[in-house]
Structure 1
Amino acid sequence: MTDAGPLATRSIPATGEVMPMVGLGTWQAFHVSRGTEWDEARQGLQAFADGGGRLVDSSPMYGPAEGVVGDIAAELRLRPRLFLATKVWTTGREAGVAQMEASFRKLRTEVIDLMQVHNLVDLETHLATLADWKSRGRVRYVGATHYTESAYPGLEAAMRRHRLDFVQVNASVAEREAERRILPLAQERGMAVIVNRPFAGGDVFARVRRLPLPGWAAEIGCTSWAQVLLKYVLAHPAVTCAIPGTRNPRHIADNLGAARGPLPDAAQRARILEAVQAA
């Protein structure tokens, strides 16, 4: 979808670089091998880039996903259009270096845009390595991630202790604690925020997708429940980008639509919350 207008963007606080507000997650969705699913992933990544998307998030935890992204991006010559984010997920300096070097090879890139410490595993060790790599231009940004509320104390401590460029955290209409704790702290500390689980792992979407789209969805430019749920998340000013995970080209194009048109105000967000809770 290239004729629907540009995507809305937010600035990365550390540099002012702008980022389209809807990205692409690869957990499970890009855990594919050659065949029909690979072809769908290929079409999906092309649709994402053609629709104006940039941030693609992966991890060595996601099976072959990094390699799938890297191979398809190389084949379609998409690398210059993408902002590649991945993670380090192991303990020990040498193991971390080896895993990150493997990510460079799998993603087929000399520079990784964002390297994140996955689930805070051996955070101090990996951040020391990444500070050096960032100074040498091997990675452009550094961050830390988690996906569950029980980890927020550790994430908050990391955010206060380190000058992270990005944090990645779960947030959705069904998982709202990050709005109270993590997002304000990110604003205070000048950190970009990537939202994972914007559909609460699909649970919320499964509840509402069978319902007719409310008439008021048009007020915020939404033509699908996916867009309504994403706009609920994107409306918070601390959120830089949300990363729904899919390889389906039609779903990707629909998700990107959440970065077009007006975002809900406080009253409209309350209406979304009420509709989901009643579903």
Structure 2
Amino acid sequence: MKSVNLTRREALRFLSASAATLATGPAPGFPALTQTTMLNRAIPSSREKLPVVGIGTWQTFDVATTAEQEPLRQALKAVHQAGGKLIDSSPMYGRSEEVVGTLTAASGIQNAFFYATKVWTRGREAGVRQMEESMRKMKRSTMDLMQIHNLVDWKTQLETLKAWKTAGKIRYIGITHYTDSMHDDLVEIITKVPIDFVQFNYSILSRNAEKRLLPVAQDKGVATIINQPFAEGRLFSLVKGKELPAWAKENDINSWAQFFLKFLIAHPAVTCVIPGTSNPRHAADNMLAGHGRQPDATLREKMAALIRNL
């Protein structure tokens, strides 16, 4: 992939352009960041390519009014224009599934996204009802990825997911959690059960996933989705008021968000990161992490040491 080396000012110009328009290209003289230039990783079970940065909807998409939805519409446009695809949601996230469905259906690019949601209940019948409701809210006849949220009644729900995948109602099966303490459980399941995706927490501050979960996922051919990539915002608190080091900018890292996301993307077992935001400029900035050079192992450790020593 050709490197796109942007200055901070150029990156901000792209953020504004991404939030303002979808159908038109970048301004004259500005690098053309398109769906073809974001780094992609293969989903091991199918070899389908998936862009490495998507968007999460926890809290941010749980809104009620048209006015509140407008920045989210612009955020989704920014994701699409910069080459992102995966939108992750859940019945747990309030109105988020319905907002995703409404905004993407009205966008003219509804089928350009990769839709992921979850089943979050106990019992077969309750699971079926909930998933059918999720499909209705997100306006999907086929869900790209259905995940068992936080492993709730996972053995029961897994049987339904297998049947739905065979029937073509879903394309991929996944499991999720959000705490370090559950990583061993995720490892045990993906070691014994055919699973397409595993979603879990991982950040430059919380690297427990590197011990077993990421290596086992890579060995077993399971795609990985990273939640809490900003450690629930704690990372931005650490760097508030601090300038990016020159060596970061020299390596196509032009914001702290890109710094934190590129650290994760550079791990070869990471398939996609899903930072959540309702801010179009932040969404566009996040997408830039999938463009340009990615850190090598030496640079990753230099990045980790910088954050560790703050």
When normalised by structure 1's length, the TM-score is 0.98
Corresponding position: 1:102 with 2:123:
no
> 1:124 corresponds to which residue?
155
Which of 251, 270, 273 is the aligned partner of 2:301? 270
Mapped pair 1:115 → 2:142: no
Matches of 1:66 and 1:231, distance apart in 2:
27
> Quick check: which has more Rg, 1 or 2?
2
Distance 1:277 1:170 in 2: 18
* Count, aligned residues: 279
CA contact (8 A) 1:30 1:41 kept: yes
Residue 165 of structure 1 and its aligned partner are, at CA, apart by 0.2
The percentage of counterpart residues that share the same residue type is 49
Of 233, 236, 259 in structure 1, the residue corresponding to residue 267 of structure 2 is 236
Q: Tell whether the 8 Å contact from 2:187 to 2:217 is kept in structure 1 after alignment.
A: no
**Deviations, residues 164-217 of structure 1 (Å, cap 9, x unaligned):** 000001111011010111100101110000000111111112211421011011
- Summarize the alignment of residues 255-266 of structure 1 with structure 2, pairs less than 5 Å apart: 255-266=286-297
Taking the aligned partners of 1:248 and 1:118, their CA distance within structure 2 comes to 25
| Deviation, structure 1 residue 89 | 0.4
**What amino acid is aligned across from residue 175 of structure 2 in structure 1?**
A
Partner of 1:78: 109
1:153 corresponds to which of 142, 165, 184:
184
Which residue identity is paired with 2:190? Answer: M
Q: Which residue does the alignment assign to 1:47?
A: 78
Instruction: Trace 1:217-256 onto structure 2 (pairs within 5 A).
Output: 217-256=248-287
Query: Is the contact made by 1:168 and 1:195 (CA closer than 8 Å) also made in structure 2?
Result: yes
Who is 2:45 aligned against? 14
Alpha-carbon distance in structure 2 between the residues aligned to 1:261 and 1:119? 34
Please identify runs of 4+ aligned residues in structure 1 that moved more than 2 A: 1-5
Which SS does the other structure have where 1:220 is aligned? coil
Does the Cα contact within 8 Å between 2:60 and 2:277 map onto a contact in 1? yes
Q: Secondary structure at the match of 2:106?
A: helix
Q: Which residue of 1 aligns with 2:33?
A: 4
Gaps of 5+ in 1: none
CA offset digits 1:245-272 (Å, max 9, x no partner)? 0121101110010001111111111111
| Distance in 1 separating the partners of 2:187 and 2:47 | 23
Q: CA deviation at 1:36?
A: 2.9
* AA of the residue aligned to 1:142: I
Q: CA RMSD in A?
A: 1.0
